[in-house]
């Protein structure tokens, strides 16, 4: 028998580092869904990120700070039970898709599960301007950017008997970004590595087959 749950969560993320797409929310507890069981949910909330860059210029130091706020922000998670202690897990966020395996390692009195994950995302954007004057049409290409993100890490989540759950995880993130300048035709490629450590705390309220999980990540 397959049980389906809808997850509605408020997610607030604080990330220090470059302003790149990141995964923040969990949207699931440590409780296994069981053989053939399923849990599908959507998280809706807000994300705040801040970037601080320090560079040396002659004898001085320059520090620049960038901030980004996103409301609404969406993340989703889906689970499919394979055995009583193992299931497939798929997390989706602005960073991309992160397929993984959820393994339950402890059941009483606290349920503890670990979720190793691998994944990635791809984004491309560009611009073009078309001007028509006196029957003559001119097309002008704008700058274009293509970026790829690779993610790999492991998350751990513990569920308490009272319904609360706590998550802690690490993700290695590799970003490759190529920017083509339309005016010169030159392409500049930049690479970045990020070590993301994050956590979440939430509470699950069951209403039949529906689960409400407000969460702070």
Tell me the pLDDT tens digit for each residue of 180-197.
887 777 888 888 888 889
pLDDT band at 46 (very low <50, low <70, confident <90, very high): confident
**Tens-digit pLDDT profile for residues 79-133:** 999 999 999 999 988 778 899 999 999 988 999 999 999 998 888 877 778 888 8
Task: Please choose, from the candidates 42, 21, 156, the residue with its C-alpha nearest in 3D space to the C-alpha of residue 94.
Answer: 21
3 pLDDT more than 60: no
pTM (predicted TM-score): 0.72
Torsion angle of C-alpha atoms 209, 210, 214, 215, degrees rounded to 10:
50
pLDDT band at 19 (very low <50, low <70, confident <90, very high): low
Pairing of strands 164-180, 128-133: unpaired
50 pLDDT more than 80: no
Q: Across residues 17-21, what is the average pLDDT?
A: 57
What gap in Å lies between CA 137 and CA 140, rounded to an integer?
A: 10
pLDDT at residue 20 in the model: 67
Buried b (16+ CB within 10 A) or exposed e, 95-122: bbbbebebbbeeeeeebebbbebebebe
């Amino acid at each position: 028998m397959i049980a389906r749950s809808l997850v509605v969560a408020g997610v607030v993320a604080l990330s220090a580092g470059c302003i790149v797409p990141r995964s923040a929310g969990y949207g699931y507890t440590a409780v296994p869904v069981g053989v053939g069981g399923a849990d599908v949910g959507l998280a809706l909330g807000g994300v705040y990120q801040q970037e601080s860059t320090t560079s040396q210029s002659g004898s001085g130091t320059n520090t620049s700070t960038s901030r980004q706020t996103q409301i609404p922000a969406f993340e989703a998670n889906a689970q499919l039970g394979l055995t009583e202690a193992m299931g497939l897990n798929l997390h989706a966020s602005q960073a991309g898709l992160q397929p993984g395996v959820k393994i339950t390692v402890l059941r009483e009195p606290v349920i503890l599960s670990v979720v190793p994950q691998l994944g990635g995302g791809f984004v491309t954007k560009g611009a073009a301007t078309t001007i028509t004057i006196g029957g003559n049409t001119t097309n002008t290409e704008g700058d274009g950017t293509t970026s790829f993100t690779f993610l790999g890490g492991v998350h751990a989540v513990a569920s308490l008997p009272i319904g609360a759950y706590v998550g802690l995880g690490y993700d290695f993130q590799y970003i490759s970004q190529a920017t083509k300048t339309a005016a010169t035709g030159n392409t500049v490629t930049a690479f970045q590595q990020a070590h993301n450590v994050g956590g979440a705390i939430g509470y699950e309220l069951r209403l039949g087959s529906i689960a409400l999980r407000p969460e702070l990540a």
